[in-house]
Every structure is written in C-alpha cells, then in structure tokens.
Structure 1
Amino acid sequence: MNKINQEALAVKRAEQVFDRRRRTIGLFGAPILALLVFFTPIDGLTLEAHKLLSIMVLVALWWITEPVPIPVTSLIGPTLAVITSVVPVSMAFAAFANPMIFLFMGGFILAKAMMTHGIDKRFAYWLLSRSWVGSNPRRIFLATGLAAALCSGWVSNTATAAMMFPICLGLLASIKEMFAVNGRQIDLHDYKYATGLMLMTAYACSIGGVLTPIGTPPNLIMLGFLDQMTDIQVSFFEWMTWGLIAMVAYFVIAYVVLVRMFPADVEKIDGAETFIQNKLKELGSWTRAQKNTVFCFAVAVVLWILPGILSIVYGSGTPILKMYNRLFPEAAAAMIGALLLFLLPVDFKKREFTLSWKDAKDGIEWGTLILFGGGLAMGGMMYKTGLSKWVGDAIIAMMGGSPSPIAMVAIFSVMALLLSELTSHTAATNMIGPLAITAAVSAGISPIPVSVAIALSASLGFMLPVSTPPNAIVYASGYIPITKMIRTGVYIDVIGIACVTIPLCIYFVSWVTG
C-alpha cells in the first residue's frame, strides 16, 4: 500500500471517530442545552418566542452534529412547535407547500431526465472534443472544468461529479499509457496533474451550482427567506445575472490556483483526443427521448428567463409582465417542463414516454426538499413570533449598533463558509439565513446583498472531503492528498470571499444612492 492510500485510510478512520463523537455529543447535549435555554429567563421574548428559541437550539445543533438524519431534524422542529403551542399546525407545515419546493422538484425531474438519457454526458464529451481543446493538457483541464460547471448549474453537483469522474479517470489513463509508450512509468497517485484535474472537477461542480436558483439548495433557500420574511421577490433571470458573474469569478480563481499548483509536465497528451472521440461515438445518434428531454428543458428555461427579457423590453411595471408572472410563475414553469416529460411519447404504440415515474421519483432528492421546507418553516415561525427581530437586534447590538454593509456581508459570508465546510451547506444556510436577513433589516440595510452573499459563500466548501459530495467523490480516487485539498481550498475560499463581499457592497451603495 503506497503512502497516499495509507494517508487516505488514516484520514477516513479519524473522520469516523470524529463523526461518532460528534453525533453522540449532539444526541444528548442538544436537548439538555435546549431545556436550559427554555428555563432561563430572557427579557424581551414572548412565551411563544422563548419556546421557539429552545426548539431552534435543538434543531440547529442537530443539523450540525447529525445524530439523526438532517431531513428528520427538519421535521422535528415544526412538529415540536405544534406540540408546544408555538404556532397552529396549519402555519407550522405550510412552508412544505411553498412554491419554491415545486420549483426545486421540477428542476430535479428535468435533471433526472437529462441524466437518464445521457444529455449531460453528451454535452461533456461534445465540449471536450472541440478543436480548441485538442491534446493540450491545460485546455483539457479548462474544458473539463467548464463541462462540470455548466452541467452543475442545472443538474445536481453530486450527479455531475459522478458523471465527470470516470471521464477524468479515462483521460488520466491516456496520460499513463502515453508515458509508458515513451518508456516512462508514472504513478498517478503522485502525479501533480492528476491531483489538479480531480480537484478541478470537484470544485467546478460546486462552482457551477451558483449559476441558477436551482443549481444548489442554498440559492433557493435564501430566495425563499427573502420572499417569506421581507416580501422581496428575486426572479430567475435576476439571480442568473449575479450567479453568472460569481461563477465566472470563482472559476477563474480555481483555474489559476490549480494550474499554478498542479502544472502539467508535458505539452501534449497523446491519446486524449482519441479517447474523447471514441466516447462520443459510443453515444450514437440522438434518440427521440434525448430530443424530447432537450425540448422540455428548453421550455422551462425560456419560461424562466422570459420575465427578465419582458422587463428589459417593456419595463418592470408593465401589465404584460404582471400577467405573465401571474400565469407562469417560476414554480409553474419548472413543473410545465417536468410534466411534459411524462406526456411526450418515445414509442406511443407501447405507451412509452420520455420519463417514467419510477425514474423520476429516484431523481427527486426528497431529503433536500424536506430540509428546504423545514428551514423555511423555522424561519417563518421565527418571523411570526418576533424571535427573528429579537435575534437580529441582539446581533446588531453586538456589532456596535450600526454595522457597515461591508461588515454585515463579510461576517455572514464567513459564517456561511465555515459552517458549510463542517456540515451540510443546506443546513448551514437554513441556520444563518433568517438571522442575517433580520439583522440586515434591523440595521436598515437591504437584505438582498447579505442573502446573496450567504448563498454564494455556502458554495465555497473546498477544503475537506466532507465539505461537499463532489469533494468526497474525487478524494476517493486516491489521487488527492488531504493536505493538498486543504491548502488549495484555503486559497480559493479566501479569494472567493473577497470576490463575494466587494461586489455586493458596491450593489448596496448603488441601492442606497439610487
């Protein structure tokens, strides 16, 4: 067993020990701490808000320590709120029918159809087969990252990483064969370019998620909180204008850092073009199911971005735009595209349609939807009971009474990043989101920059294998020493936070003056 494998095994054992202790401490410690909070007198809180605070302590600590599955914890919070008479049952569980849930569900179904029929692989191989890529290792590095980033804007980052992983392994096998032909034997576990290519794949999958609201859960969670707590609606098109800028900035940072830290020692990878071309040929010609899937996906995307185009052409207050938003809200647009998959036939005589329910239900991340609904439920109850205002005022007081927009954005961005490195970025966003929004409102600051900053920062989980599923997938290859992942992750995280904070503070200044 080589040194890399021994290191990976040692890290895995340490993670298992840490996880066991963390879950045990959380299982018993969180309820005890929640009871202490409940029985401690706190001025300025109503009885309902005080009870909800103790429930939030339990839920937040269980989200972090995970003694039970995170989606289960998301159901425990609203259930306890009903049992303890914090809110009636209709209010506690209303968030699980929030339109954002159905926007995400439609996105999951469309993504599953794309994976089932190989649209994602076809796009990835198409991009890698472009003439500008060729056999140049740097361009292959760039094209691999672009394929992962652009796919994960619409498909789960985990699924994208799983799809790109074997492609990268094939490219690295071509490198090894090329060296063998030239009389040089290499161990890919010790080859810098192999480490860089794997890291680029994982990081690009997380980076691409910021492109669209459905790209990663933190995006929709913060949009849901903005809508629910401040009645601010951010359109799909508007998010994409921010997400595209963030994605490009993150991607450039990751590419530059990784190319410098893990350069290729050859000018050409013989066999890479042949490998890609053969894989593309194996996919064959376009099938009816693939064409139907692309059509359904295009319908959803057009319906999502059309309000932004109408707003630019006719103005934000035009009756046409208002009517369109009433008839085709984003959740309905997602469901239209998804439902068409069950109606467009592949073989009508056999009654075979583009997507079966069996495939669709396996593609819907039910745990994510429950976690999303639970987070919205807890945030809504905090707002209704006045707990969020109390917490927001307390945060503002701790920050000196009148914090600057830069401080607000920077502090909550760092909090989101640190929590996302250690636990689910969805759970981290659920915990920080309501606090940040209420703190911003209490300080008289627009909650939009803070909310966007949290969503974007939660996607910067690059330091550890446990930070995101893509990190874990590529780490399992054995080509990435843990020290290399931590080091590169720190660089990208720090630069990424700066790229989040500065533009959003500029946006705040323009919001105040305009």
Structure 2
Amino acid sequence: MAFSAFRNANQDVIRFLFVIGISSFVLVIGLLLSQPEAKCAIVVLLMSCFWMLEILPLAVTALLPLIFFPVLEVAEADKVAVQYFKDINVLVFGGLAFAVSIEHWNVHKRVALATLKAFGSNKAMVLLSFMLIGWCLSMWISNTATTSMLIPIATAVANEFDPTTSSNRKRRKQQQQQQQEKAISGCENVIDSFESGIKETNLDQKEELDTFANDPAENESQINKTELETFVSFKRGLLLSVAYACSIGGTATITGTAPNALLLGNIEERYGKATAFNFGTYMIYSLPQSLICLLIAWTVIYFLQVHTFKKSKLDNQENESFREVIAQQYQELGCWKPAEMIVISLFVALALLWFFRSPKFIIGWADVLGLTGISDSSVVITIVLVLFACPSFSDEPKADKTLLTWPVIHQKLSWSMLFLLGGGFAMAFGVKSSGLDLVIMEGLKYFSNIPIFFLLFIIVTVVGFLTEFTSNTSTASIIQPIMASLAEALGVHPFLFMIPTTIACSFAFCFPVATPPNAIAFSEGTLRVRDMVKCGFMLNILCFSVATVWAFTWGELMFSMTSQQSP
C-alpha cells in the first residue's frame, strides 16, 4: 500500500511538472512570436493537447484562454471573460436546471416505465422500447443521467431472462414435463392409429419422447447452455441499445448535448442572429435524421448481437416475467404526485415555447407579439423561475417545499459543462480576433479539387472516430471554427460542414471511454470491448453516411446548404 501511494504521488508530481513546464514553454514561445495568429495557434494546440490527453479536468483546461490570450495580447481579458457566460451558456444552464427537476421528482423514471408497459415483451420490442425512451429523454436531459437511470432498469429486465435463476429453472422443468406428457400422449395416439388400421404416424413426437426418456440430464445441460448463451447475448444487446440511443438522442436538439450548444453559439458569433438557425429549425433538421440513426442502431444491435441464436423455448414465460418486473417497478412509484404532474406539464410547455418561438416555416409566437429580442434562454429561465417559486404540494416531511431548490441545483447540476462551453467560445473568439481563421482558410483551399460530398464524408468520418478517444465537446470546440473557415475557403454554405461534423462528434460507439453512456453501460460488467467494437464500428460508418447524405438532401430544403454560400 505504501509503495502504491508513493507511485501515485510520483505520478501526480510528474503531471504537475509537465503542466507547469509545457505551459511555461508555450508562454515563452508566444511572447517571442510577433504575429497574433501564431500566438493564438500555439494556445489552441496547447488546449487541444490538454483536452485530448485529459491532463487536467476538461473544464479547467477550458479556462486557459483567460490566462494566455491577454498575456500574449491575442485578446483583452474582459472580452475573453464575456465568452464564458453568453446567451447560449444561459440556455444550457436553464436546460440543465430543468433536467435536474425532472430527475429530482423521478418523472423520467415514471415516463420510462410507462412506455415499457405500453410496448410488447418480445425481445425486439424490448430493445426498441428502451431505445425510444433513452432517445426521447436524452433530447432534454443529460445523456449521462438518462443512461444512469435506464441501465439499472434494463439490467433488472434482462435478468428475468436468466436461465440460471431458480424461478426460470422451475419454469423450465415444468415446461419439460409438459413436453414429455405431450410426447407420451402423441405416442399413445400413434399406437391407437396402428390398432385402428391408420398408417400415419408422428415420428417427431416419438423422437422427442426418446430424447427425454433416454438422457434427460444431457438434454437439460444442452438447454441450459443454449438458454444461457441467448440470455447473455440479449443482455449485452440491451445494454448497448441504451448507451447508443442516449448518444443518438442528444443530437436531436440544441440542448441535447454540448457540441450542439457550441454550434449555435459559434454560428451566432460568426454570422449573427439573423440566420435561420435556432432551436426550432435545428430540431426540424436533426430530429428525423436522429430517428433514422436510432432505427439503424436498433437493427444493427438486434441482428449482430441479439438475434444470433435460436428462439428461446421459454419466450412466453420470460415475456410474462418481463411484464411482471415492469409492472412491479411502476407500482412502487405509486400514483402521480402533484409535483410530477406540474413538472411534466412545464416540460411540455417549455418544448412548445422553444419550438414555436420563431420556427421560420410559420410565424412564431415571438413574431406575433413583436418580441424580436427574446431568445430561447429567456424562455427556459422563465420556466426555471416558475420551478423555484411553485410549491411541490408534497405531504412527505422530507420533501422540498418548492419544485426546485438551490441546494438541489448546487448538488446535481453539471457546472463543469458551462465552463467547458465557455472555453470553446473563448477559443473560437481568439481564432477569429487574431486572424487565425483567415490563415486556416487559405491553407484549406487546397481541398477545392476534392468533390464536396466525398470531402464532407471523409471529414465527418475522421471527426467521428477522433471522438472515440477524446471528449466530444472539446473536439467540437476545435473543429467548428475550422469547418467554418473551410466552407468559406471552398465557397460553400458553412452549415454544410459545421452541422454534420458537430453531429458526428456524438457518434462514438466503439469503445467504453468514448462517451459517458458507453462507460456506464460497460461498467455493469456484462459487456466486452469486442461487443462494442462489433456493433459500434458498423454503426459509426452507417451514421456517418446518414449525416453526410442528410446534409445534401434535407439540409438543402431547410437551410439551402448546397445552393447558397452564406447563411
């Protein structure tokens, strides 16, 4: 133990010396350089290195522009600091706060169990139901929180298919007895048929009786092995389905995942707020694509992971067990509480207000009221204030008096996400203000000879596989300004490169470390890395293809991506 502590202490000292050494080196080199774009470039490289290697916490690395940009005279400190609490940061804060209220009152669990009750208990439908729940919930609350909530439920459901449990063994023995009685009855019918002169026989039933009569132990062993393989395969597929669905669902809305929020902020910073890009239009663009990717994931997981063995002989009994587990867990929640009904009502109101604020394809409520200065952040903060003020109407003595309290927010809200977003915006601000984006634009003109479709697919694939090893938020922070510069250099619509590559940052399905949902599913203990790679690699390629094709088809209808050069 002492040696282990000494070794860990040495590693901490080495990391400390590395951080101080490399930061000092970058600072000295930056002071020696004269061009602001070169100074900004080495800061971007330093942040990229720290983010990819996770030498420091991601949110701490995001604070580096506050130090380096003013010292190297890339940008003034007050202008850099503003990037950490922009309108989009307020939007994300409000979305996270509302998600906390949903989790705090267990509304997400009630919705999940109600959906599972409504679906059939066939294994394919069980997979689909869990995926739809994870997909829908992760549009609005953290995919990490959604996965954390669904994995225990999925594990409990999957364990009901475990043939090694005493209840399932008892059901198997009962079924074998029924099959044996049926076989005996069939043979008696065969004898009666011969006695009456009828020549038709049922040889299959006689063979089945012989199997049970000659070696029942061998038969039991064979069934156990087949059933166990089926169970393990199904459980792995169910865990994968939850993790993948939560990652895919986050791509459907602006608040679903941090790269999307970064995208909105960078577009507004670079092209202004007069573009057609907002919460509603992005959801119209991305929601159908996200649903297509979800159905592809369901198909891939089912046929590669679940549907690899023969149908279980206990499917009917297992389906009944599934229904019992879901019904029992739902019954434990009790009746709908006033707090839950208010929270779900406010959630519906928030989604509608966001979507119809200014959807562009119709006149929104903000346009009718003449509220041109209002934004999505104003809407969500209004709803959050209602949550803080509205009583919970709970009779439980330990329950909070209001739907949302500051101690709950302080404990459960992901504060690091706000700093991480701010770091991305600060980096993009430095790239633009220093002129580094123009330098990048000139260098990227060499790609003009490659057909745009194939160039986009290559970039989407590279970015997607890069996020298998790095944070999707840090990757998006680095890649979005570069994609905007590339589009401008090639004379194409910037959305054509910015949106698909941002979405690709969430398509990391191959490794446990790629995303928090993958890590949570893997930590359950049943999954193997090769299970993820087998399904994830194919799913990656298919989703990258969908993102590319979608930009050239639906993207043209929504944002004129292929026919215009500016938003």
Which TM class, normalised by the smaller chain length?
A: 0.7 to 0.9
**Hey, what's the Cα distance between the residues in 1 that align with 2:288 and 2:337?**
35
**Offset at 1:365?**
1.2
Determine which of 280, 285, 288 is the counterpart of 1:237. 280
Determine which of 273, 286, 292 is the counterpart of 2:336. 286
Match of residue 199 from structure 2: none
Determine which of 162, 169, 174 is the counterpart of 1:180. 169
Is residue 2:354 matched to residue 1:304? Answer: yes
Judge which range, 378-387 or 291-300, deviates more. 291-300
Q: Structure 1 residues 246, 23: closer, same or farther in 2, change over 3 A?
A: farther
Structure 2 counterpart of 1:89, one-letter code:
A
Q: Secondary structure at the match of 2:73?
A: coil
**Offset at 1:36?**
9.2
The runs of 5 or more residues in structure 1 that have no matched partner are: 1-15
Is residue 2:435 matched to residue 1:386? Answer: yes
CA contact (8 A) 1:421 1:464 kept: yes
CA contact (8 A) 1:405 1:508 kept: no
Pairs aligned (count): 485
Q: Structure 1 residues 167, 512: closer, same or farther in 2, change over 3 A?
A: closer
**Hey, what's the Cα distance between the residues in 1 that align with 2:131 and 2:60?**
35
Q: Structure 1 residues 415, 32: closer, same or farther in 2, change over 3 A?
A: farther
Judge which range, 410-419 or 449-458, deviates more. 410-419
Is residue 2:502 matched to residue 1:455? Answer: yes
Bigger Rg, which one: 2
**Hey, what's the Cα distance between the residues in 1 that align with 2:116 and 2:543?**
27
Judge which range, 428-437 or 404-413, deviates more. 404-413
Q: 1:394-422 CA deviation, whole Å, 9 max, x = no partner?
A: 1223x2x4554324422331232122110
| 1:222-301 superposed matches below 5 A | 222-231=263-272, 232=275, 234-263=277-306, 265-266=311-312, 267-268=315-316, 269=318, 270-301=320-351
Is residue 2:139 matched to residue 1:147? Answer: no
**Hey, what's the Cα distance between the residues in 2 that align with 1:85 and 1:406?**
39
Determine which of 476, 480, 483 is the counterpart of 2:523. 476
Structure 1 counterpart of 2:125, one-letter code:
R
Determine which of 218, 238, 243 is the counterpart of 1:202. 243
**Hey, what's the Cα distance between the residues in 2 that align with 1:51 and 1:92?**
15
Structure 1 counterpart of 2:325, one-letter code:
F
Match of residue 213 from structure 2: none
Q: Structure 1 residues 37, 503: closer, same or farther in 2, change over 3 A?
A: farther
CA contact (8 A) 2:495 2:561 kept: no
CA contact (8 A) 1:78 1:378 kept: no
CA contact (8 A) 1:189 1:480 kept: no
**Offset at 1:313?**
3.5
**Hey, what's the Cα distance between the residues in 2 that align with 1:205 and 1:23?**
34
Q: Structure 1 residues 24, 138: closer, same or farther in 2, change over 3 A?
A: farther
Is residue 2:94 matched to residue 1:48? Answer: no
Match of residue 178 from structure 2: none
The runs of 5 or more residues in structure 2 that have no matched partner are: 1-7, 174-222
Q: Secondary structure at the match of 1:421?
A: coil
**Hey, what's the Cα distance between the residues in 2 that align with 1:226 and 1:411?**
23
CA contact (8 A) 2:389 2:403 kept: yes
Q: Secondary structure at the match of 1:416?
A: helix
Structure 1 counterpart of 2:239, one-letter code:
M
**Hey, what's the Cα distance between the residues in 2 that align with 1:470 and 1:457?**
16
**Offset at 1:307?**
2.5
Q: Structure 1 residues 26, 503: closer, same or farther in 2, change over 3 A?
A: farther
Judge which range, 375-384 or 185-194, deviates more. 185-194
**Hey, what's the Cα distance between the residues in 1 that align with 2:324 and 2:391?**
35
Q: Structure 1 residues 414, 483: closer, same or farther in 2, change over 3 A?
A: same
Q: Structure 1 residues 313, 430: closer, same or farther in 2, change over 3 A?
A: closer
Match of residue 532 from structure 2: 485
Q: Secondary structure at the match of 1:75?
A: coil
**Hey, what's the Cα distance between the residues in 2 that align with 1:227 and 1:390?**
21
Q: 1:73-109 CA deviation, whole Å, 9 max, x = no partner?
A: 1101232111222211111111112100011001001
Determine which of 416, 430, 453 is the counterpart of 2:463. 416
Match of residue 204 from structure 2: none
Structure 2 counterpart of 1:145, one-letter code:
M
Is residue 2:330 matched to residue 1:344? Answer: no
Structure 2 counterpart of 1:394, one-letter code:
G
Match of residue 366 from structure 1: 415
Q: Secondary structure at the match of 1:135?
A: coil
Judge which range, 488-497 or 88-97, deviates more. 88-97
**Hey, what's the Cα distance between the residues in 2 that align with 1:85 and 1:39?**
9
Q: Secondary structure at the match of 2:392?
A: strand
Match of residue 11 from structure 1: none
Determine which of 70, 74, 82 is the counterpart of 1:94. 82
User: TM-score, length-normalised on structure 2?
Assistant: 0.79
Structure 2 counterpart of 1:500, one-letter code:
A
Match of residue 50 from structure 2: 62
**Hey, what's the Cα distance between the residues in 2 that align with 1:33 and 1:436?**
29
CA contact (8 A) 2:259 2:473 kept: yes
